[in-house]
Protein backbone atom coordinates (compact mmCIF):
# COMPACT_ATOMS: atom_id res chain seq x y z
CA UNK A 1 0.00 0.00 0.00
CA UNK A 2 2.81 2.38 1.02
CA UNK A 3 4.73 1.57 -2.18
CA UNK A 4 1.78 2.65 -4.36
CA UNK A 5 1.57 6.07 -2.66
CA UNK A 6 5.39 6.54 -2.79
CA UNK A 7 5.22 5.89 -6.56
CA UNK A 8 2.54 8.55 -6.81
CA UNK A 9 5.01 11.03 -5.26
CA UNK A 10 4.26 11.02 -1.53
CA UNK A 11 7.14 12.87 0.18
CA UNK A 12 7.49 10.91 3.41
CA UNK A 13 7.46 7.11 3.68
CA UNK A 14 7.01 6.98 7.48
CA UNK A 15 3.99 9.29 7.28
CA UNK A 16 2.41 7.19 4.49
CA UNK A 17 3.03 4.02 6.46
CA UNK A 18 1.27 5.32 9.54
CA UNK A 19 -1.67 6.53 7.40
CA UNK A 20 -2.00 3.10 5.82
CA UNK A 21 -1.82 1.40 9.23
CA UNK A 22 -4.80 3.53 10.26
CA UNK A 23 -6.62 2.51 7.08
CA UNK A 24 -6.07 -1.16 7.96
CA UNK A 25 -7.30 -0.58 11.53
CA UNK A 26 -10.38 1.18 10.15
CA UNK A 27 -11.05 -1.64 7.72
CA UNK A 28 -10.65 -4.18 10.53
CA UNK A 29 -13.28 -2.32 12.56
CA UNK A 30 -15.55 -2.27 9.51
CA UNK A 31 -15.08 -6.02 9.07
CA UNK A 32 -15.87 -6.64 12.75
CA UNK A 33 -19.23 -4.87 12.59
CA UNK A 34 -20.17 -6.43 9.26
CA UNK A 35 -22.63 -9.35 9.36
CA UNK A 36 -20.36 -12.44 9.33
CA UNK A 37 -20.00 -14.29 6.01
CA UNK A 38 -21.87 -17.36 7.28
CA UNK A 39 -24.91 -15.27 8.33
CA UNK A 40 -25.02 -13.44 5.01
CA UNK A 41 -26.82 -16.41 3.44
CA UNK A 42 -29.92 -15.57 5.50
CA UNK A 43 -31.97 -13.45 3.13
CA UNK A 44 -34.16 -12.23 5.96
CA UNK A 45 -31.12 -10.89 7.83
CA UNK A 46 -29.74 -9.26 4.69
CA UNK A 47 -32.76 -7.81 2.92
CA UNK A 48 -34.18 -4.68 4.57
CA UNK A 49 -36.29 -2.74 2.14
CA UNK A 50 -36.72 0.88 3.30
CA UNK A 51 -37.29 4.33 1.91
CA UNK A 52 -34.39 6.74 1.52
CA UNK A 53 -36.02 9.00 4.15
CA UNK A 54 -36.12 6.13 6.65
CA UNK A 55 -32.53 5.19 5.90
CA UNK A 56 -31.39 8.76 6.64
CA UNK A 57 -33.58 8.89 9.77
CA UNK A 58 -32.43 5.54 11.19
CA UNK A 59 -28.77 5.69 10.15
CA UNK A 60 -27.77 9.39 10.10
CA UNK A 61 -24.08 8.45 10.31
CA UNK A 62 -22.95 5.05 11.37
CA UNK A 63 -21.27 4.94 14.79
CA UNK A 64 -17.98 3.93 13.23
CA UNK A 65 -17.87 6.75 10.67
CA UNK A 66 -18.96 9.23 13.32
CA UNK A 67 -15.94 8.51 15.50
CA UNK A 68 -13.40 7.96 12.70
CA UNK A 69 -11.35 11.06 11.94
CA UNK A 70 -12.20 12.68 8.57
CA UNK A 71 -8.47 12.25 7.74
CA UNK A 72 -8.73 8.46 8.09
CA UNK A 73 -11.95 8.31 6.04
CA UNK A 74 -10.21 10.36 3.37
CA UNK A 75 -7.15 8.02 3.31
CA UNK A 76 -9.43 5.00 3.26
CA UNK A 77 -11.33 6.25 0.20
CA UNK A 78 -8.10 7.35 -1.50
CA UNK A 79 -6.52 3.90 -1.03
CA UNK A 80 -9.52 2.16 -2.52
CA UNK A 81 -9.59 4.45 -5.53
CA UNK A 82 -5.83 4.34 -6.14
CA UNK A 83 -5.48 0.67 -5.21
CA UNK A 84 -8.16 -0.36 -7.72
CA UNK A 85 -6.52 1.50 -10.58
CA UNK A 86 -2.84 0.78 -9.72
CA UNK A 87 -2.83 -2.53 -11.59
CA UNK A 88 -3.76 -0.64 -14.80
CA UNK A 89 -0.62 1.54 -14.62
CA UNK A 90 3.04 1.05 -15.51
CA UNK A 91 5.17 -1.86 -14.33
CA UNK A 92 6.35 -0.40 -10.96
CA UNK A 93 2.70 0.13 -9.95
CA UNK A 94 1.73 -3.33 -11.11
CA UNK A 95 4.62 -4.84 -9.15
CA UNK A 96 3.62 -2.98 -5.98
CA UNK A 97 0.05 -4.24 -6.40
CA UNK A 98 1.33 -7.74 -7.08
CA UNK A 99 3.26 -7.69 -3.78
CA UNK A 100 0.04 -6.76 -2.00
CA UNK A 101 -1.84 -9.56 -3.76
CA UNK A 102 0.86 -12.07 -2.90
CA UNK A 103 0.69 -11.27 0.82
CA UNK A 104 -3.09 -11.71 0.76
CA UNK A 105 -3.37 -14.83 -1.37
CA UNK A 106 0.07 -16.49 -1.51
CA UNK A 107 0.11 -16.24 -5.30
CA UNK A 108 1.42 -13.54 -7.61
CA UNK A 109 -1.62 -13.71 -9.90
CA UNK A 110 -1.24 -14.25 -13.61
CA UNK A 111 0.62 -11.32 -15.19
CA UNK A 112 1.26 -12.99 -18.57
CA UNK A 113 0.33 -10.60 -21.39
CA UNK A 114 -1.87 -13.17 -23.17
CA UNK A 115 -3.82 -13.84 -19.98
CA UNK A 116 -4.36 -10.14 -19.21
CA UNK A 117 -5.42 -9.44 -22.82
CA UNK A 118 -7.88 -12.30 -22.99
CA UNK A 119 -9.44 -11.88 -19.56
CA UNK A 120 -9.75 -8.06 -19.89
CA UNK A 121 -11.29 -8.32 -23.37
CA UNK A 122 -13.72 -10.96 -22.18
CA UNK A 123 -14.78 -8.93 -19.13
CA UNK A 124 -15.28 -5.72 -21.16
CA UNK A 125 -16.46 -7.01 -24.55
CA UNK A 126 -17.56 -10.52 -23.52
CA UNK A 127 -20.66 -10.60 -25.74
CA UNK A 128 -18.79 -9.43 -28.85
CA UNK A 129 -15.98 -11.94 -28.21
CA UNK A 130 -18.72 -14.44 -27.36
CA UNK A 131 -20.35 -14.01 -30.79
CA UNK A 132 -17.08 -15.09 -32.45
CA UNK A 133 -16.68 -17.88 -29.92
CA UNK A 134 -20.12 -19.44 -30.43
CA UNK A 135 -19.94 -19.19 -34.21
CA UNK A 136 -16.80 -21.30 -33.98
CA UNK A 137 -17.62 -23.76 -31.20
CA UNK A 138 -21.33 -23.92 -30.44
CA UNK A 139 -22.92 -25.64 -33.36
CA UNK A 140 -24.43 -28.94 -34.42
CA UNK A 141 -27.54 -28.70 -32.27
CA UNK A 142 -25.55 -28.03 -29.08
CA UNK A 143 -28.41 -26.00 -27.58
CA UNK A 144 -30.98 -28.74 -28.19
CA UNK A 145 -28.69 -31.40 -26.75
CA UNK A 146 -28.05 -29.33 -23.61
CA UNK A 147 -31.78 -28.75 -23.29
CA UNK A 148 -32.45 -32.49 -23.47
CA UNK A 149 -29.89 -33.15 -20.71
CA UNK A 150 -31.45 -30.46 -18.50
CA UNK A 151 -34.88 -32.04 -18.95
CA UNK A 152 -33.52 -35.48 -18.00
CA UNK A 153 -31.83 -34.05 -14.89
CA UNK A 154 -35.05 -32.20 -13.97
CA UNK A 155 -37.05 -35.41 -14.33
CA UNK A 156 -34.57 -37.28 -12.12
CA UNK A 157 -34.93 -34.52 -9.50
CA UNK A 158 -38.75 -34.50 -9.57
CA UNK A 159 -38.96 -38.33 -9.72
CA UNK A 160 -37.08 -38.43 -6.42
CA UNK A 161 -39.47 -36.04 -4.64
CA UNK A 162 -41.93 -38.84 -3.63
CA UNK A 163 -39.00 -40.62 -1.90
CA UNK A 164 -38.40 -37.74 0.51
CA UNK A 165 -40.01 -39.00 3.71
CA UNK A 166 -39.33 -35.72 5.55
CA UNK A 167 -41.61 -33.69 3.34
CA UNK A 168 -45.40 -33.25 3.63
CA UNK A 169 -47.53 -33.65 0.48
CA UNK A 170 -48.42 -29.98 0.11
CA UNK A 171 -44.77 -28.88 0.26
CA UNK A 172 -43.84 -31.72 -2.09
CA UNK A 173 -46.43 -30.55 -4.63
CA UNK A 174 -45.09 -26.99 -4.35
CA UNK A 175 -41.51 -28.25 -4.81
CA UNK A 176 -42.58 -30.14 -7.94
CA UNK A 177 -44.29 -27.02 -9.20
CA UNK A 178 -41.16 -24.93 -8.58
CA UNK A 179 -38.84 -27.47 -10.21
CA UNK A 180 -41.07 -27.55 -13.30
CA UNK A 181 -41.14 -23.72 -13.39
CA UNK A 182 -37.33 -23.39 -13.49
CA UNK A 183 -36.48 -21.71 -16.80
CA UNK A 184 -33.12 -22.10 -18.54
CA UNK A 185 -30.74 -19.98 -20.60
CA UNK A 186 -28.34 -22.05 -22.68
CA UNK A 187 -25.21 -21.07 -24.61
CA UNK A 188 -25.66 -17.37 -25.41
CA UNK A 189 -28.27 -14.63 -25.81
CA UNK A 190 -29.61 -14.67 -29.39
CA UNK A 191 -29.04 -10.94 -30.00
CA UNK A 192 -25.25 -11.41 -30.16
CA UNK A 193 -25.53 -13.04 -33.58
CA UNK A 194 -27.26 -9.89 -34.90
CA UNK A 195 -24.43 -7.43 -35.64
CA UNK A 196 -26.68 -4.35 -35.53
CA UNK A 197 -27.97 -5.25 -32.06
CA UNK A 198 -24.46 -6.06 -30.85
CA UNK A 199 -23.17 -2.68 -32.13
CA UNK A 200 -26.06 -0.96 -30.35
CA UNK A 201 -25.10 -2.61 -27.02
CA UNK A 202 -21.57 -1.19 -27.19
CA UNK A 203 -22.26 2.12 -28.98
CA UNK A 204 -21.58 4.24 -25.85
CA UNK A 205 -18.26 2.53 -25.18
CA UNK A 206 -15.28 4.25 -26.78
CA UNK A 207 -12.16 2.08 -26.97
CA UNK A 208 -8.80 3.45 -28.09
CA UNK A 209 -6.22 1.08 -29.53
CA UNK A 210 -3.29 2.55 -27.57
CA UNK A 211 -4.68 3.83 -24.27
CA UNK A 212 -5.15 0.98 -21.82
CA UNK A 213 -5.68 3.13 -18.70
CA UNK A 214 -8.29 5.44 -20.26
CA UNK A 215 -10.04 2.49 -21.89
CA UNK A 216 -10.56 1.11 -18.40
CA UNK A 217 -11.90 4.47 -17.16
CA UNK A 218 -14.24 4.61 -20.16
CA UNK A 219 -15.48 1.11 -19.36
CA UNK A 220 -16.09 2.01 -15.70
CA UNK A 221 -18.21 4.99 -16.81
CA UNK A 222 -20.04 2.87 -19.38
CA UNK A 223 -20.93 0.17 -16.87
CA UNK A 224 -22.14 2.73 -14.28
CA UNK A 225 -24.36 4.35 -16.90
CA UNK A 226 -25.79 0.95 -17.88
CA UNK A 227 -26.54 0.19 -14.21
CA UNK A 228 -28.33 3.52 -13.66
CA UNK A 229 -30.41 2.95 -16.78
CA UNK A 230 -31.87 -0.15 -15.10
CA UNK A 231 -33.14 1.81 -12.10
CA UNK A 232 -36.92 1.43 -11.62
CA UNK A 233 -37.27 -0.63 -14.79
CA UNK A 234 -38.57 -4.18 -14.97
CA UNK A 235 -35.53 -6.47 -14.74
CA UNK A 236 -34.76 -8.31 -17.98
CA UNK A 237 -33.37 -11.79 -18.31
CA UNK A 238 -29.83 -10.53 -18.73
CA UNK A 239 -26.82 -12.80 -18.85
CA UNK A 240 -24.48 -12.31 -15.87
CA UNK A 241 -21.76 -14.39 -17.58
CA UNK A 242 -20.31 -14.03 -21.07
CA UNK A 243 -20.77 -16.92 -23.58
CA UNK A 244 -17.13 -18.19 -23.34
CA UNK A 245 -17.28 -18.46 -19.52
CA UNK A 246 -16.61 -21.92 -18.08
CA UNK A 247 -19.16 -21.62 -15.29
CA UNK A 248 -22.92 -21.72 -14.64
CA UNK A 249 -25.37 -20.15 -12.19
CA UNK A 250 -28.88 -20.08 -10.75
CA UNK A 251 -30.76 -16.82 -10.14
CA UNK A 252 -33.29 -17.29 -7.31
CA UNK A 253 -35.15 -14.04 -8.06
CA UNK A 254 -35.89 -15.33 -11.58
CA UNK A 255 -35.90 -19.07 -10.89
CA UNK A 256 -33.56 -19.50 -13.87
CA UNK A 257 -30.55 -21.72 -14.49
CA UNK A 258 -27.87 -20.45 -16.91
CA UNK A 259 -25.21 -22.44 -18.79
CA UNK A 260 -22.87 -20.38 -21.03
CA UNK A 261 -21.45 -22.06 -24.15
CA UNK A 262 -17.99 -22.12 -22.48
CA UNK A 263 -19.01 -24.88 -20.04
CA UNK A 264 -20.90 -26.90 -22.66
CA UNK A 265 -17.54 -28.11 -24.06
CA UNK A 266 -15.05 -30.82 -23.19
CA UNK A 267 -14.09 -31.82 -20.57
CA UNK A 268 -17.62 -31.12 -19.27
CA UNK A 269 -19.50 -32.16 -22.37
CA UNK A 270 -18.88 -33.52 -25.83
CA UNK A 271 -21.36 -35.16 -28.15
CA UNK A 272 -18.90 -38.00 -28.74
CA UNK A 273 -18.38 -38.72 -25.04
CA UNK A 274 -20.20 -41.68 -23.49
CA UNK A 275 -23.27 -40.67 -21.53
CA UNK A 276 -21.53 -41.60 -18.27
CA UNK A 277 -18.91 -38.88 -18.85
CA UNK A 278 -21.40 -36.26 -20.01
CA UNK A 279 -23.75 -36.85 -17.07
CA UNK A 280 -20.82 -37.33 -14.64
CA UNK A 281 -19.53 -33.85 -15.53
CA UNK A 282 -22.12 -31.61 -17.25
CA UNK A 283 -25.12 -33.44 -15.75
CA UNK A 284 -23.74 -32.87 -12.24
CA UNK A 285 -23.34 -29.14 -13.00
CA UNK A 286 -26.93 -29.00 -14.27
CA UNK A 287 -28.23 -30.84 -11.20
CA UNK A 288 -26.12 -28.54 -9.00
CA UNK A 289 -27.70 -25.37 -10.45
CA UNK A 290 -31.21 -26.84 -10.31
CA UNK A 291 -30.75 -27.86 -6.66
CA UNK A 292 -29.71 -24.24 -5.82
CA UNK A 293 -33.41 -23.45 -6.19
CA UNK A 294 -33.96 -25.68 -3.15
CA UNK A 295 -30.93 -24.84 -0.96
CA UNK A 296 -31.04 -22.75 2.25
CA UNK A 297 -31.21 -19.52 0.18
CA UNK A 298 -33.07 -20.64 -2.93
CA UNK A 299 -35.86 -22.28 -0.94
CA UNK A 300 -36.92 -18.81 0.31
CA UNK A 301 -38.08 -17.92 -3.22
CA UNK A 302 -41.23 -19.19 -4.89
CA UNK A 303 -41.58 -20.44 -8.46
CA UNK A 304 -41.94 -16.85 -9.74
CA UNK A 305 -38.72 -15.74 -8.02
CA UNK A 306 -40.48 -13.81 -5.26
CA UNK A 307 -39.15 -14.07 -1.70
CA UNK A 308 -42.18 -15.85 -0.34
CA UNK A 309 -42.59 -18.93 1.82
CA UNK A 310 -44.10 -21.97 0.11
CA UNK A 311 -43.10 -24.51 2.77
CA UNK A 312 -45.10 -26.25 5.51
CA UNK A 313 -43.79 -25.47 9.03
CA UNK A 314 -42.83 -29.10 9.69
CA UNK A 315 -40.95 -29.40 6.37
CA UNK A 316 -38.93 -26.28 7.26
CA UNK A 317 -38.06 -27.80 10.64
CA UNK A 318 -36.94 -31.05 9.04
CA UNK A 319 -35.04 -29.25 6.26
CA UNK A 320 -33.12 -27.37 8.97
CA UNK A 321 -32.33 -30.61 10.86
CA UNK A 322 -31.08 -32.23 7.66
CA UNK A 323 -29.07 -29.11 6.83
CA UNK A 324 -27.45 -29.27 10.28
CA UNK A 325 -26.19 -32.78 9.42
CA UNK A 326 -24.44 -31.33 6.37
CA UNK A 327 -23.10 -28.30 8.31
CA UNK A 328 -21.58 -30.64 10.94
CA UNK A 329 -20.14 -32.99 8.33
CA UNK A 330 -18.38 -30.24 6.33
CA UNK A 331 -17.25 -28.48 9.57
CA UNK A 332 -15.22 -31.61 10.26
CA UNK A 333 -13.18 -31.33 7.02
CA UNK A 334 -9.72 -29.83 7.65
CA UNK A 335 -7.27 -28.06 5.29
CA UNK A 336 -3.78 -27.08 6.61
CA UNK A 337 -5.13 -27.55 10.15
CA UNK A 338 -8.04 -25.19 9.52
CA UNK A 339 -11.64 -26.34 9.66
CA UNK A 340 -13.83 -25.54 6.72
CA UNK A 341 -17.03 -23.60 7.39
CA UNK A 342 -20.11 -25.75 7.02
CA UNK A 343 -22.66 -22.98 7.49
CA UNK A 344 -21.04 -20.60 5.00
CA UNK A 345 -20.78 -23.33 2.34
CA UNK A 346 -24.17 -24.97 3.07
CA UNK A 347 -25.95 -23.82 -0.12
CA UNK A 348 -23.12 -25.03 -2.39
CA UNK A 349 -22.87 -28.34 -0.51
CA UNK A 350 -26.60 -28.93 -0.80
CA UNK A 351 -26.29 -28.18 -4.54
CA UNK A 352 -23.22 -30.48 -4.95
CA UNK A 353 -24.98 -33.37 -3.21
CA UNK A 354 -28.32 -32.90 -4.93
CA UNK A 355 -26.61 -32.33 -8.29
CA UNK A 356 -24.53 -35.50 -8.09
CA UNK A 357 -27.55 -37.55 -7.10
CA UNK A 358 -29.82 -36.22 -9.88
CA UNK A 359 -27.14 -36.64 -12.57
CA UNK A 360 -26.33 -40.19 -11.43
CA UNK A 361 -30.01 -41.17 -11.44
CA UNK A 362 -30.51 -40.02 -15.03
CA UNK A 363 -28.05 -42.60 -16.06
CA UNK A 364 -28.63 -45.35 -13.51
CA UNK A 365 -8.04 -27.50 -8.48
CA UNK A 366 -2.81 -25.36 -7.77
CA UNK A 367 -3.70 -24.08 -4.38
CA UNK A 368 -1.48 -22.32 -1.79
CA UNK A 369 -2.08 -22.30 1.98
CA UNK A 370 -2.87 -18.51 1.84
CA UNK A 371 -5.47 -18.89 -0.89
CA UNK A 372 -6.96 -21.97 0.79
CA UNK A 373 -7.25 -19.93 3.98
CA UNK A 374 -8.89 -17.07 2.03
CA UNK A 375 -11.31 -19.53 0.48
CA UNK A 376 -12.25 -20.99 3.86
CA UNK A 377 -12.90 -17.44 5.14
CA UNK A 378 -14.94 -16.12 2.25
CA UNK A 379 -15.99 -18.66 -0.38
CA UNK A 380 -19.51 -20.08 -0.28
CA UNK A 381 -18.14 -23.22 -2.01
CA UNK A 382 -16.29 -25.89 -0.05
CA UNK A 383 -12.64 -26.43 -1.06
CA UNK A 384 -12.66 -28.67 -4.23
CA UNK A 385 -11.31 -31.71 -2.37
CA UNK A 386 -14.30 -31.69 -0.01
CA UNK A 387 -16.77 -31.05 -2.81
CA UNK A 388 -15.71 -34.51 -3.99
CA UNK A 389 -15.29 -36.28 -0.64
CA UNK A 390 -18.46 -34.72 0.84
CA UNK A 391 -20.80 -35.62 -2.02
CA UNK A 392 -19.44 -39.08 -2.77
CA UNK A 393 -19.28 -40.18 0.86
CA UNK A 394 -22.96 -39.22 1.13
CA UNK A 395 -23.84 -41.22 -1.99
CA UNK A 396 -25.22 -44.73 -1.43
CA UNK A 397 -24.91 -45.25 -5.22
CA UNK A 398 -21.16 -44.51 -5.09
CA UNK A 399 -20.62 -46.91 -2.22
CA UNK A 400 -22.63 -49.62 -3.89
CA UNK A 401 -20.87 -49.20 -7.25
CA UNK A 402 -17.36 -49.14 -5.73
CA UNK A 403 -18.19 -51.80 -3.14
CA UNK A 404 -16.94 -49.66 -0.22
CA UNK A 405 -16.59 -51.56 3.05
CA UNK A 406 -18.71 -50.36 5.94
CA UNK A 407 -15.51 -49.25 7.68
CA UNK A 408 -14.30 -47.23 4.65
CA UNK A 409 -13.73 -43.50 5.08
CA UNK A 410 -15.79 -42.80 1.98
CA UNK A 411 -18.69 -44.80 3.46
CA UNK A 412 -19.43 -43.13 6.80
CA UNK A 413 -22.28 -44.50 8.91
CA UNK A 414 -23.80 -41.06 9.20
CA UNK A 415 -24.66 -39.77 5.75
CA UNK A 416 -26.34 -36.47 4.98
CA UNK A 417 -29.02 -36.18 2.35
CA UNK A 418 -31.58 -33.48 1.69
CA UNK A 419 -32.81 -33.67 -1.90
ZN1 LIG B 1 -23.24 -23.35 -6.92
Yes or no: domain 116-300 corresponds to CATH 3.40.50.300 = no
Per-residue pLDDT, 367:
61
Per-residue pLDDT, 371:
77
Q: How far is the CA of 352 from the centre of ligand 1 (A)?
A: 7
H or E, element range at 321: helix 313-331
Per-residue pLDDT, 63:
66
Helix axis angle for 70-86 and 13-33, nearest 10°, is 100
Per-residue pLDDT, 104:
84
- pLDDT band at residue 275 using 50, 70 and 90 as cut-offs: confident
Q: Which of 136, 121, 140, 110 is nearest to 242 (CA)?
A: 121
Q: Which of 289, 295, 300, 348 is catalytic?
A: 289
Indicate left, alpha or beta for 255 from its phi (over 0: left) and psi (-120 to 50: alpha): left
Q: How far is the CA of 214 from the centre of ligand 1 (A)?
A: 35
**pLDDT higher than threshold 80 for residue 368:** no
The answer to whether the Cα torsion of 403, 405, 409, 412 is positive or negative is: positive
**pLDDT higher than threshold 80 for residue 411:** yes
Q: Which of 239, 4, 219 is nearest to 134 (CA)?
A: 239
> Mean of the per-residue pLDDT values for the chain?
91
Mean pLDDT of 122-132: 95
pTM equals 0.84
Which residues are CB-neighbours of 256 under 8 A, at least 6 positions away?
182, 183, 184, 185, 237, 250, 305
Per-residue pLDDT, 369:
79
Does 352 participate in catalysis according to the annotation?
yes
Mean pLDDT of 139-153: 90
Q: What is the largest CA-CA distance in the chain?
A: 72
Q: How far is the CA of 295 from the centre of ligand 1 (A)?
A: 10
CB 2 within 8 A of CB 100: no
**pLDDT higher than threshold 60 for residue 365:** no
Q: Taking the domains of the chain in order of start, what are their residue ranges? A: 2-111, 116-300, 313-401
Report the range out of 59-73, 99-113, 155-169 with the highest average pLDDT. 155-169
Q: How far is the CA of 292 from the centre of ligand 1 (A)?
A: 7
Instruction: Please give the angle made by the CA atoms of 47, 51 and 54, to the nearest 5 degrees.
Output: 100
Q: What is the 3-state secondary structure (H, E, C) of 49-76?
A: CCCHHHHHHHCCCCHHHHHCCHHHHHHH
Amino acid sequence: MTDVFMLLGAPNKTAVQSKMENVILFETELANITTPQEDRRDERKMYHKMTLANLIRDYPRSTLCAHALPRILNDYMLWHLVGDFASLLSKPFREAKQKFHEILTGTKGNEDAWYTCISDTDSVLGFAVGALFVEETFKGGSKEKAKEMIENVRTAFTDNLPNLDWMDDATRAAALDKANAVTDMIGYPNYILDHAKLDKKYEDLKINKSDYFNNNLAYTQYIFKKSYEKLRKTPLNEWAMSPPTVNAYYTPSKNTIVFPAGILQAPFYDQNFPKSLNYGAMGVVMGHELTHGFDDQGREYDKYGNMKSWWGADAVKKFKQKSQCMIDQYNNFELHGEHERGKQTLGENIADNGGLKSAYNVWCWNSKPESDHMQILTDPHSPPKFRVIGTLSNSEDFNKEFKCKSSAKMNPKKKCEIW
